[in-house]
Amino acid sequence: SPSCGDGRKRNVCYYYDSGIANVDYGAEHVMVPRRVAMTHALVASYGLLPHMTRLRTTPATEHDLRAFHDDGYVRLLRDISPDGYYRRHDNNIRARARACRVGVPDEDEEADGGHYDNPVIDGLWDYCLRYAGGSLAAARALAAGRSDIAINWSGGMHHACSGKASGFCYVNDIVLAIQHLLDTFARVLYVDIDVHHGDGVEEHFKGDERVMTVSFHRYDGDQYFFPGTGKAGDVGEGKGKYRTLNVPMKAGMDDASYLHSLFVPIMDTVMSRFQPDAVVLQCGADSLYGDRLGGFNLSVSGHAACVSYLRSCNVPLLLLGGGGYTVNHVASCWCYETAVAVGKEEEIPDDIPHHGYEHYYRDQGYKLHYPVPKKSSIKKEDIDKIKQDALANLRMLNE
Ligand code: ZLM
Ligand code: CA
Ligand code: ZN
């Protein structure tokens, strides 16, 4: 039976649905759900599946979504279809879609040549119900004590709001999963290592003392980087004050600055001050070096060290996907993090096995751990300032 670095075996549950992997945001769209099929194929080829319990579940229901989302928005997601939308005479659905930011270009997007962040795609409703169903099944496994770590790489859609889509996210499976965990666990910690700010989750829980949200993200100040929120000074409100923590960083973050100077000291303080009963980690892989959108320089092992850190805290852990736009990097990362979850990361070889998708890994020399730049562009003063801001906010927690 598998044991881990700390000698303690973890019971790991894993969700994968091939129905999600075939969803298509559009030929040139940067979001490619097939990266989850690539991750799964890699996980299987490394022999990791027998070390986990496969979570079989039914899709979420309309009722499940309404725990967070507005009725009108849920109905829109249910009723809209690519052909329905393009029936231009259906003015009503078109107006509703525009209000909910689904498929309709806003002014910026018109300027982008009519591309949308949140297109009306084939099978949209089924896709939403399935990825949300996976995160809910994972939360149920943790709440029932059936699992120590539960994984849904197709979840982690942190931008979706109660009444609108945002940043490729339609349904906020993270909010739904946290709401479910709160039935069992008194305090839930949410940690977000996607390169983008976890705005949808923060917004919903910013006044809730039971949930602490921590997002590490790129923030360029006046130089807009999506979604433009997540300043160090945004700390939550009311009973949730100081239970929102934002760690804004400039492009170019490398392993040493991210992990040793920020993530570890900040999370040590969060863990001892907040003392969560369960942790949800959004593992957006767009913070990796070479991502099409991100601009950070993390290695696969640096990114996975965040998973390792939270695993070693021995609190029920929900691992979710999120962003990640260079698909071979994403699959390498989430496969390696699956190995970390089951305590097998030291046993899996760096050479990517032949498994049908190996041609995708040519650019990285068919190695799981592809090289990242050694030289850092990050100034020590800048990192120290970010760390001091975060620790100052944390000192206010439980004062
Ligand atoms: N335009 N195609 C992260 C979500 C990031 C808003 C600028 C849309 C893109 C991007 C879409 C081909 C997560 C914005 C962008 C173009 C208004 C964003 C379609 C390229 C393409 O080539 C593209 C038809 C597309 C979208 C780039 N969009 C880059 N950045 C962000 C959203 C989601 O990783 O955090 C979690 C899953 N949107 O910057 C615009 C302002 C829309
Ligand atoms: Ca983030
Ligand atoms: Zn992202």
Q: Does domain 12-395 sit in CATH 3.50.50.60?
A: no
Pairwise CA distance, residues 161 & 69, whole Å: 7
Please say whether the beta carbons of 309 and 262 come within 8 A.
no
Cα–ligand 1 centroid distance for 277 (angstroms): 35
- Judged on CB neighbours under 10 Å (0-12, 13-18, 19+), 83 is exposed
Peptide linkage before 276 cis (omega within 30 of 0): no
Cβ(29) – ligand 1 distance below 6 Å: yes
What per-residue string of b and e applies to 337-360 under the rule 16 or more CB within 10 Å gives b? bbbbbbbbbeebeeebbeeebbeb
Give me the amino acid identity at 324: G
Prediction ipTM score: 0.97
Give me the residue spans of the domains in the chain: 12-395
Q: Which ligand is nearest to the CA of 303?
A: 2
Active site residue ranges: 159
Residue spans of alpha helices (H) in the chain: 18-21, 34-45, 62-65, 71-79, 82-86, 91-99, 107-111, 124-143, 173-181, 199-205, 255, 264-274, 300-311, 327-341, 380-395
Cβ(196) – ligand 1 distance below 6 Å: yes
Percent of the chain residues topping a pLDDT of 90: 87
Across the chain, which has 399 residues, the per-10-residue mean pLDDT values are: 60 97 93 98 98 97 98 94 68 86 69 78 96 98 98 98 98 99 98 99 98 98 95 98 98 97 98 98 99 98 98 98 98 98 97 96 98 90 98 94
Query: What's residue 109's pLDDT?
Result: 54
Query: What's residue 4's pLDDT?
Result: 45
What is residue 353's DSSP assignment? P
- Residues 6+ away with beta carbon under 8 Å from 356: 41
Query: What's residue 106's pLDDT?
Result: 61
- Judged on CB neighbours under 10 Å (0-12, 13-18, 19+), 113 is exposed
Cβ(324) – ligand 1 distance below 6 Å: no
Query: What's residue 374's pLDDT?
Result: 85
Task: Give the distance between the most distant pair of CA atoms in the chain.
Answer: 64
Tell which one of 192, 195, 226 to mutate to probe ligand 1, the residue whose CB is within 8 A of the most ligand atoms: 226
- Strand order across the 12-15 sheet: 53-54, 12-15, 149-152, 317-320, 278-282, 188-192, 211-218, 244-249
Angle between the N-to-C axes of helices 300-311 and 327-341, in degrees from 0 to 180, rounded to the nearest 10:
30
Give me the amino acid identity at 301: S
Bridge-based pairing of strands 211-218 and 244-249 is parallel
Cβ(358) – ligand 1 distance below 6 Å: no
Pairwise CA distance, residues 50 & 57, whole Å: 18
Tell which one of 115, 161, 287 to mutate to probe ligand 1, the residue whose CB is within 8 A of the most ligand atoms: 115
What separation in angstroms does the CA of 290 have from each of 30, 213, 254, 328?
14, 27, 12, 10
Query: What's residue 376's pLDDT?
Result: 83
* Backbone phi and psi for residue 225, each to the nearest 5 degrees, phi listed first: -125, 130
Query: What's residue 113's pLDDT?
Result: 62
End-to-end Cα spacing for the chain? 44
CB half-sphere exposure, 82, CA atoms < 13 A: 9
